[in-house]
Structure 1
Amino acid sequence: MKKILFIFILVFSANLKTSAQEYSELYAGLDSISKTNVGSNFYRIFRMINYEYNQINDSLIMDERVVVGILKINSNKKFQFVHINEKNKDIEGFLNDCLSKAPPFPIENIEKGKDLEYLTIKFDLKKYNYEGIKFDEILTRQKEENKTNRIEELDLYPSYGGKPEEFTDKEKALESINIIINKVVRKNFKYPEYAMENDIQGKTITNFVINKDGQIRTIVVYFSHPILQNQALNITEHLPTFNPGIKDGKPVSVNYQFPLTFRLQ
């Protein structure tokens, strides 16, 4: 009988018409892909998708959608949905069209790029009132509302338990998050049956955003088989509300990540 081992290391609506020139602004920064942080680059793509979402047919726009799905990279180095949750089937074509407009994703520049074939994602689409707002103002709003900060840029790191001001020591703040993630992983870890039967193993990387309210609303999982990615995403969904990170006296959204290794012996 196979034994299951898991290893985790904690680390740190207006109908606007967009011109070609405006698209270049909308996609600004998408062509500077990080060599290591896949998640951060997808957060920028999500911002673009949120903008596009507010321009489609009004009957398709809801106040909020929670999109969960699997992306696969195609021969043009662009991602497309190969699976999406049932509630968002009606906009799958729209989402793939958005992804096709984004610049190619240069996986050869990313560490372990050869292992980057699928991503499992969860993110929000929200309805915004853009009536009477100029395009450049919309871009500014999108950037501010969806901006994520690197954890090392903060005055106070995100933390768990107590009050944020109690965690002036950054190492103590990170330790408080690592402890709770450790507990959540142990409580909710389950090796997928299909993966066990087919000897599927691997190490996932889970990127998520702790938003200004301390909630986890955006998750990107990669570097493994999609079935393992999905399990890592399910575990991440069980994480509690955190104390948000603080920068210049204000709560901000922060990127965080942890690896999770699935191994059979």
Structure 2
Amino acid sequence: MSARSAAPLARATHLAIHALPAFLAVGGLILAWEAYVHLSGVAPGTLPAPSRVVIQGFAQREALWQNTVPTLQATLFGFALSLSSAFVFSVLIDFIPFMRRALFPVFIISQTLPMVAIAPLVVLWFGFGLMPKIGLVALVTFFPILVALVQGYAATEKELETLLRAMGANAARVFLTARLPSALPYFFAGLRIAITYAVVAAIFAEYSGAARGLGIYILNAKNSFRPDLVLAAVLVSSALTLCLFAVAAAIEYAATPWRHAGKASRR
């Protein structure tokens, strides 16, 4: 086997070994849950077994999918709005120090607003369509990305900036050549944090008013005293979050190859 063909296999083996403890922990919890339900005799209407959740979720797969699509749309559009807005404001803050003093208090205040209070108002103002969900997802995920970018810009090596300016680079060139690449590791750290909130924010927004979505599905299942379907929807939302997190990790791997090359050389 050549070195080129062996490299993907080595990476896959390393990832499998790295993920094994997590799989064992999750599998152990599921087995313990299943055993407790069967041994204790608790009613399925109180605590359904994981096997029942999976079976009933599969039986309701069409309804789950029809309600997953609106939640996924709100999550993706809201996160796209959050990313673009955070990048624009981070650039303004980096180039104009006054903007940091003017805008950061406003952004911090926006994060203190209780979602349980603001979500119904947003739905009241903008209706039951997709836009309120997009706005709420963007509101929840915007701040971690912004802070990560601003801190990343500030972490740029001063010697590198001095060298670029000595070579005649203007502020925009210094930003693109030095400050933006230096911010990438911070950006992806903030991205991973924000992506875990995105699906939850979309579901919470649907609680406050929507025609379809996982939030509405969970609400209807709860009102019908079907905890198995509630947990099935929760399982779907968790799967969506894990998939989005994996996509963010894959993009980070592709966008910052020098970091992974350095880790590989140290092993």
- In proportion to residue count, which structure has more strand? 1
TM-score, scaled relative to structure 1 = 0.28
TM-score, scaled relative to structure 2 = 0.28
- In proportion to residue count, which structure has more helix? 2
Rg larger for? 2
